[in-house]
Structure 1
Amino acid sequence: MIDCVIIDDEQHAIDLLVQHISQVHFLRIAGTATNPVKGLQMVADLKPGLVFLDVQMPHLTGIEMLKLISKDSHIILTTAYKEYALEGFEHAVVDYLLKPVQFLRFLKAVNRLWTIHNSLRPASEQDHYVFVKTEQKGKLLKIDSRRITYIEGLSNYAIIHMDDKKKIITYLKLKELSESLSARGFVRIHKSFIISLSHLTAVEGNMVRILNEEQPIAIGDAYKKDFFDFINAKMLSIPPDSTIG
């Protein structure tokens, strides 16, 4: 569950977001504020996982507030003006929503955050093991997911690469594997690749390096934004001009 705070000087805008949040099972309202100064204090006190932040407000703008809110809280900007989007992304916000916020666009933004949130959560001990179908009919293989370095998709099957260089062929599609493994620290970065974040050693432009693998893996255009949102969220500090991606 992700606790949310909404800061917007227009009550009707808050009411719409509250309605959207009520329809998403992993979101919960922690508080709302029409006064940005009071909203800033609310965020400091409640430490929510997500802040919906209006850009244009009296006394203290959303862009100014971005610099004051702890990086432990993810930010989604809301405003009626498209020109603020670039500046917002320079501060590593999760997304930028134009008012009036449409539910489908809202859902896309919060689902992106849910992916990041699941990737950050440590897997419990009982979650380390998974079972996969193998080439041999009727045979299931038990795998320690902590030892998977990356997964390569090939048509209707996938190759699971292990940390001992062993390769396991399973008749599952990457979409199924991605949905099953996202909470265990795996991220899909390409239509053909899922990587283990624990075995990720470096990001070099639009490529990633995996432990003990000589060849880098490309980051696909369709997955680039979500991946770099996650990377930026994990950076120790993000100066305004250094957000990557």
Structure 2
Amino acid sequence: MITCFLVDDEQSAIDILRAFIDKTPFLTLVGSSSNPLEALGILQNQPVDLLFLDIHMPQLSGLDLMRLMPGRTRVILTTAYSEFAVEGFELNVLDYLLKPIAFERFLKAAQKALNTAIEPAARWQPEEKPDTYIFVKTESKGKMTKVDFDEIMFVEGMKNYVSINTSTERIITLLNIKDLEDRLPGKQFMRVHKSYIVSLDKIRALDGNQILLKGMKAYVPLGETYRTAFFEALQEKVMGSGRK
């Protein structure tokens, strides 16, 4: 629901806009004033979503009031004078309604307010960040260890257990290798054998059906079943054909 406030020095104009707001299901009127200075005081303490604002008023013009308004309030100008349209849009008004205002034209302006109320919320929706770690239960009862994905070199399956190997430690946990494979980010890790998952970033060299990882002397086997998918994943990284 969009909260609205009316400012116009003519009560008849306020009455017309109040009737229009009552007919518009997504607008709700929270107040009105025929005195722009009074309205400024109210709005500075209780900001609203949308202000319908006349331009020609005693003591303070609508354009001057706009310059003093809280920044989050959107403004639709309502006036009998078209010559202020350019100046109004330079102040980033949402719309400019010329009196006498037809309900259809009012509704079009109100729809703009609805659209601008919805779009920023969607645009600023926090982006869901991918997981970068997991906690796993270890052999010690009640102990859980945090494992950062970036630190994993490879995973080895051992029946009902898996061994998660980093450059500094080996973590044994009661897990199925398939369950862990599903949990690891697919762009970073790949199953290369029925018993092994490797971090693609940690690969140092390939030699036939063997994979050498950075900082390791032993090779991880590349299973025949996984060979085609593995090389397809690496294809865009491969340079040179090996031909002379």
Q: TM-score by structure 1 length?
A: 0.49
Q: Identify which of structures 1 and 2 has the higher relative contact order when contacts are C-alpha pairs closer than 8 Å and 6+ apart.
A: 1
